[in-house]
Amino acid sequence: QVQLMESGGGLVQPGGSLSLTCAASGSFFRIVAMGWYRQAPGNERELVATINAGGGIAYQDSVKGRATISRDNAKNTVLLQMHSLKPEDTAVYYCNTRGYLDYTEVFDAWGQGTQVTVSS
């Protein structure tokens, strides 16, 4: 019912920049929030940044000042822009979208994940 298309992952050098895009498609009534999570080897999945329908934004402390999350509500798309990347940013990044399929049924969708590697 809801499909998430992720793009932008890859290999970047330390200090470099990268943008991740997630687009939601399918049949749904309303999106409440979209964001990005990440999981490094041996670690639990953690929030990177999220933006809700009202424009409220939350960032993980480790990326504050280095990341910007934005949205295009008309296209159901969220963009995460990161700069000054560090090796510890290396992880699989997952798009997350929450909302309503109809007036009563909620959904919590996850993308397949895209690899981000920060290395020389």
Q: pLDDT of 2-12, one tens digit each?
A: 999 999 999 99
What is the average pLDDT value for the chain, to the nearest integer?
A: 97
3-state secondary structure of 75: helix
Q: How many CA atoms lie within 13 A of 43 on its CB side?
A: 14
Q: Span 18-44, mean pLDDT?
A: 97
Q: Determine the Cα–Cα distance for residues 38 and 89; give it in Å rounded to an integer.
A: 9
Q: Span 86-103, mean pLDDT?
A: 97
Radius of gyration, CA atoms only, the chain? 14
| Contacts with 57 (C-beta within 8 Å, 6 or more apart), sequence order | 49, 50, 51, 69
The pLDDT confidence band at residue 56, using thresholds 50, 70 and 90, is very high
Query: Which DSSP letter does residue 114 get?
Result: E
Question: Which parts of 8-118 are beta strand (E)?
Answer: 10-12, 18-26, 30-39, 46-52, 57-59, 67-72, 77-82, 91-100, 106-110, 114-118
Answer yes or no: is pLDDT of 1 > 90.
no
pLDDT tens-digit readout, 34-48 = 999 999 999 999 999
Give percent above pLDDT 90 in the chain. 96
Q: Determine the Cα–Cα distance for residues 108 and 2; give it in Å rounded to an integer.
A: 9
